[in-house]
Amino acid sequence: MSKQFDVIVIGGGPGGYVAAIRAAQLGFNVACIDEWKNEKGGPAPGGTCTNVGCIPSKALLQSSEHFEHANKHFAEHGITASDVKMDVAKMIARKDTVVKQNNDGILYLFKKNKISFFHGRGSFVKAAEGGYEIKVAGAAEESLTGKQIIIATGSNARALPGTPFDEELVLSNDGALRVGAVPKKLGLIGSGVIGLEMGSVWRRLGAEVTILEGLPTFLGAVDEQIAKEAKKAFDKQGLKIELGVKVGEIKTGKKGVSIAYTNAKGEAQSLDVDKLIVSIGRVPNTIGLNVEAVGLALDERGAIVVDGDCKTNLPGVWAVGDVVRGPMLAHKAEEEGVAVAERIAGQHGHVNFNTVPWVIYTSPEIAWVGRTEQQLKADGVKYKAGTFPFLANGRARALGDTTGMVKMLADAETDEILGVHIVGPQASELISEAVVAMEFKASSEDIARICHAHPSLSEATKEAALAVDKRTLNF
Ligand code: FAD
Ligand code: NAI
């Protein structure tokens, strides 16, 4: 006998578990199915984000940053820390604890919201009367029927053709987060978000890191001025990034990995490393969903086709997060999950794609929202730009971290903020003010007139707003 639900969510990552909670809050009888297993085979909801993405990467970034501070920056404060050592096993164990706390937190939230959680793989069986029959293949097999189905099955790392991940020598994000000892030489393919974050972790811990990037421009999606400033900082740190390369044959052996490539000048090169992280993007995951059984439409990339409201081609079937179009970000997945639950309840769920922030958690951090200067030029929009360097910010000086700047772009006629781009300390936190401002359609003058606490890094945002009108006070 099939168990009946109003809403069945397949996938318990940030898109899925948040959709389940919102649907339960709205009074629906909700099931959430997730197949992720912890090392004991038990449930580990939270998806890529919690298990092998956002959370563990930030834990390692924090540990490695402490190590770098102790080694390189404590002395500036008069602190002697000699013989500083990194116990990699302990760092990884701490990261695992942080992950487990998050897994447990989600299981608690399922209970609190009376969501029925099923641990296993969910797949379509058939369209049933008034909904769909879903099979759960796990420790125990279950049959569920749901009036509404939300698919949030996420994404998987893309492998280089002919070079599958073995997670020992050729690592995806999964293996990159559980390397047992600092490799002497680490190679990465792709200087995108994962390449820079993971490259930074292992460089700080002492690895000689080389990142091979296919495109000739560094961080092409980022505002050029900001990307240039970030690249300068990474170069200074010794993070070696080669742009415009063409990766050829990759050989693995007892000594590690050998990568043949041609550099930007077209010269044949080779790179020998102990381990290689391949971070060249991610592919939507519909493996095992049995989409054929119900005729769910996928696009040429394998993503589930949805409209602006996350509706698929099937009535009552929705899809959110990495498995659909749009940026592959946890907060985008969450926003879509909430909006879909609200639409199912007849409300007007809404996601504003123009104000989805991006953050790269390197040091310096890089964060942005809205359009870049190059996008505004391409769109033919007349704009004013204001920048303010952290070098002139008192709090940044006190912190000992004056790299970077805040840059604000505003419409030349209306003064509406069109984009804010930050490279520097705590950019991840500073960007929120810009997101709020843009959601409220604020002008740069609005920010310039708001009282910001002193001394704080956020004063750099106010000063960048003042700079739009060429009237900074402290620079
Ligand atoms: P996922 O988190 O991938 O969750 C999907 C879940 O569905 C998984 O648990 C999977 O096991 C389960 N599943 C799949 N198929 C089935 C099935 N048939 N039955 C049952 N369960 C199934 N984003 C940020 O915003 N900030 C960051 O700092 C950040 N850092 C990242 C760092 C790394 C190293 C990586 C790889 C990604 C990072 N991301 C970050 C991206 C973020 O992790 C994803 O955008 C986010 O997890 C997408 O959420 P989702 O719910 O769509 O999918
Ligand atoms: P990415 O799309 O950020 O970067 C991939 C890079 O690899 C690009 O620069 C691309 O030009 C390059 N590339 C692609 N194919 C190549 C090839 N054959 N040879 C050399 N270079 C090649 O993808 P990444 O870093 O794998 O991350 C995947 C996604 O996960 C991100 O786009 C983001 O959505 C999410 N993520 C978000 C984080 C955050 O929000 N802080 C952190 C990590 C991941």
CATH number assigned to the domain comprising residue 234: 3.50.50.60
Q: Where does the pLDDT of residue 162 fall: very low under 50, low under 70, confident under 90, or very high at 90 and above?
A: very high
pTM for this model (two decimals) = 0.98
Ligand 1 centroid–CA 154 distance in Å is 5
- pLDDT, one tens digit per residue, over 250-280 is 999 999 999 999 999 999 999 999 999 999 9
CATH number at residue 370: 3.30.390.30
Please check whether residues 77 and 194 belong to one and the same domain: no
> In 308-327, which positions are buried (b, 16+ CB within 10 angstroms) versus exposed (e)?
eebbbebebbbbbbbbbebe
CB 295 within 8 Å of CB 282: no
Mean pLDDT of 209-223: 98
Mapped onto helix, strand or coil, the DSSP state of residue 435 is: helix
Please check whether residues 151 and 21 belong to one and the same domain: yes
pLDDT at 140 over 90: no
Q: Is residue 16 part of a domain?
A: yes
Ligand 2 atom with the smallest distance to the CA of 196 is 25
Ligand 1 centroid–CA 213 distance in Å is 24
Q: Which residue has the least CA distance to atom 15 on ligand 2?
A: 280
Q: Is residue 149 part of a domain?
A: yes
Please check whether residues 275 and 300 belong to one and the same domain: no
d(CA 258, CA 241) in angstroms, rounded, equals 17
Ligand 1 centroid–CA 47 distance in Å is 5
Q: Is residue 340 part of a domain?
A: yes
Structural domain span for residue 462: 355-468
Q: Is residue 162 part of a domain?
A: no
Mean pLDDT of 52-72: 97
Q: Is residue 165 part of a domain?
A: no
Angle at 362 between CA 473 and CA 78, to 5 degrees: 70
Number of neighbouring beta carbons within 10 Å of residue 218: 19
Give alpha helix (H) positions in 265-393.
Answer: 330-344, 373-378
Please check whether residues 9 and 152 belong to one and the same domain: yes
Ligand 2 atom with the smallest distance to the CA of 246 is 19
Q: Domains in the chain: how many in total?
A: 3
Q: Which residue has the least CA distance to atom 11 on ligand 1?
A: 36
Ligand 1 centroid–CA 79 distance in Å is 40
- Identify whether 331 is a catalytic site residue: no
Nearest ligand for residue 137 CA: 1
pLDDT at 141 over 90: yes
Q: Where does the pLDDT of residue 349 fall: very low under 50, low under 70, confident under 90, or very high at 90 and above?
A: very high
Quick check: CB of 337 below 6 Å from ligand 1? no
Q: Which of 260, 280, 300 finishes a domain?
A: 280
pLDDT at 118 over 90: yes
Q: Where does the pLDDT of residue 129 fall: very low under 50, low under 70, confident under 90, or very high at 90 and above?
A: confident
Q: Which residue has the least CA distance to atom 52 on ligand 1?
A: 321
Q: Which of 332, 351, 370 finishes a domain?
A: 351
Quick check: CB of 424 below 6 Å from ligand 1? no
pLDDT for the residue numbered 139: 83
Give residue 442's identity as a one-letter amino acid code: A
Q: Which of 296, 327, 351 finishes a domain?
A: 351
